Amino acid sequence: MSGSDLLLDYLSRYFPILLFIGIALAFGVVTLLLSYLVQPKFPESEKLSPYECGSEPFSDARMPFPVRYYIFAMLFVIFDIEIIFLYPWAVVFDKIGLIGLVEMLVFIGLFVVAYVYAWRKGALEWD
């Protein structure tokens, strides 16, 4: 096969995925629209007020929240990137032999250092 044929073959694998995404999106939008067309609409202020166990809502609902969520998101970003490095390594593990193993042991060692540091500093504690 020539280069352009291969490219076409390769792209044709991704085309159904694009199609699927389009269909799923269309399904979501169209169903919501259809439902919007047939449903009754009787808005009134009591019905529209956000639920707060029966009392009148007070203060802004979009309040600032604990910084703890932010810390976990940061930890997640860093660990996620470390995990990403594991995938190409796992896939070619047979071909790279001992060097790959040792290298990844070093990498995971540093990962563990970061993890233990986070643990000792109490960053993994939720309270």
Partner 1 sequence: MATLFFFYFAGIIVLTSILVVALRNPIYSALSLLIMFFHVAGLYVTLRAEFLAAVQVIVYAGAILVLYLFVVMLLNVKREDRYHPQFLLGTLLGLTLLTEGLLLVFRGTVPEQPASVPAATGATQAGSSVLPLVGNTETIGEVLFSTYLYPFEIASLILLVAMIGAIVLAKKDIGGREA
Partner 2 sequence: MFELGVKVAFSLAQIGVVFGIVLLTVMFLTLAERKVIAWMQDRMGPMEVGPYGILQPIADGLKLFFKEDIVPAGANRFLFSLAPILALVPALIGFAVIPFGPNLTVELFGIQFKPFVISDVNIGILYILAFTSIGAYGIILGGWASNSKYSLLGGLRAAAQVISYELNVGLAIVGVLLLAGSLSLVKITEAQAGGFWHWYIFAFPFPQIFAFVVYVISAVAETNRVPFDLPEAESELVAGFFTEYSGMRFAFFFIAEYANMILVSCIAAALFLGGWNAPYPGTLIGHLGFPHFAWIEQVVWFAAKVYCFLFLFFWLRATLPRLRYDQLMRFGWKVMLPIALGNILVTSIAAYLFPKS
Nearer to partner 1, 34 or 105 (CB): 105
Stretch that binds partner 1, among 23-31, 40-48, 49-57, 67-75 (CB under 8 A): 67-75
Three-class SS of residue 65? coil
- In contact, 13 and 20? CB cutoff 8 Å: no
Chain Cα centroid distance, residue 65 = 20
Residue 94 interacting partner from partner 1, partner 2, none (CB closer than 5 to 8 Å by kind): partner 2
State yes or no: residue 7 binds partner 1 (CB under 8 A): yes
Sequence-distant (6+) residues with CB within 8 A of 101 are 93
Residue 103 interacting partner from partner 1, partner 2, none (CB closer than 5 to 8 Å by kind): partner 1
